[in-house]
Chains A and B, each alone.
Chain A
Amino acid sequence: DAGVIQSPRHEVTEMGQEVTLRCKPISGHNSLFWYRQTMMRGLELLIYFNNNVPIDDSGMPEDRFSAKMPNASFSTLKIQPSEPRDSAVYFCASRAGRNTGELFFGEGSRLTVL
């Protein structure tokens, strides 16, 4: 299996621009998670989906952030408009089954907002 695939791996953009991060989970996994990693705050859970349905989005910083999962094999995290404080590494992870199972992480999307 190819693992969790994220794109782009690196993105540099200017403040105010729209950013879209993409994730393809492992086939057959029914849960998908978006995390943000920064030096100051560590790994923060932004949102997670079960069977394509958003379950908990309490970690989404504000209305500028939105996430969708239109089908079992694709999810997006969008930031509009982007701000310098959004600079971070964004990870997507997927899991089969319930919370006893292992999360499989993608390699991350490093976002820099100038």
Chain B
Amino acid sequence: AQSVTQLDSQVPVFEEAPVELRCNYSSSVSVYLFWYVQYPNQGLQLLLKYLSGSTLVKGINGFEAEFNKSQTSFHLRKPSVHISDTAEYFCAVSTQGGSEKLVFGKGTKLTVNP
């Protein structure tokens, strides 16, 4: 079965600083990878996804993520964060050709301070 580990439960940063949110996954088969964002009192929204092809994936709101198969990682980055990026970020994995369920990590709370 697949699993996801988000190494940091909380990440505080200052506005306009770069940020990296870390995600590692475990699976015995090839995977699809996703990052979702959750703003307070809302459901989750898709930021970006990796299905195949280029390992660098660009998403909404200036976020990008890089798939690294050898390190089984899919870290999320943004070169300059805004106050409005304060939210919880979830990494998720599903397996290619297998179960269609999407398994989420426990989330990383990003707080952007002025």
A105-B43, A105-B45 known; A56 and B107 CB under 8 Å? no
Q: Does A99 have its Cβ within 8 Å of any Cβ on chain B? A: yes
Q: Does A25 have its Cβ within 8 Å of any Cβ on chain B? A: no
Q: Does A93 have its Cβ within 8 Å of any Cβ on chain B? A: yes
Instruction: Mark B residues whose CB is within 8 Å of A.
Output: 32, 36, 41-46, 49, 51, 90, 94-95, 99-107
Indicate with 1 or 0, residue by residue over A86-114, a CB within 8 angstroms of chain B CB atoms.
00000101000011101101111000000
Pick the residue among B44, B51, B95, B106 that contacts A105 (CB under 8 A): B44
A93-B43, A106-B43, A107-B43 known; A42 and B104 CB under 8 Å? yes
Bound CA–CA A50/B101 (angstroms): 11
Bound CA–CA A86/B44 (angstroms): 21
Q: Does A82 have its Cβ within 8 Å of any Cβ on chain B? A: no
Task: Write out the residue numbers on chain B whose beta carbons fall within 8 Å of the beta carbon of A93.
Answer: 43-44
Task: Write out the residue numbers on chain A whose beta carbons fall within 8 Å of the beta carbon of B102.
Answer: 33, 45, 99, 103
Interface residues of A in 1-22 (CB under 8 A from B): 4
Task: Write out the residue numbers on chain B whose beta carbons fall within 8 Å of the beta carbon of A45.
Answer: 101-104
Within the complex, what minimum Cβ distance (angstroms) separates A47 from chain B?
9
Pairs across A and B, CB under 8 Å, 30 listed: A4-B43, A31-B100, A33-B101, A33-B102, A41-B106, A42-B104, A42-B106, A43-B107, A45-B102, A45-B103, A45-B104, A55-B100, A91-B43, A93-B43, A93-B44, A99-B32, A99-B94, A99-B100, A100-B49, A100-B51, A103-B36, A103-B46, A103-B102, A105-B43, A106-B43, A107-B41, A107-B42, A107-B43, A108-B42, A108-B43
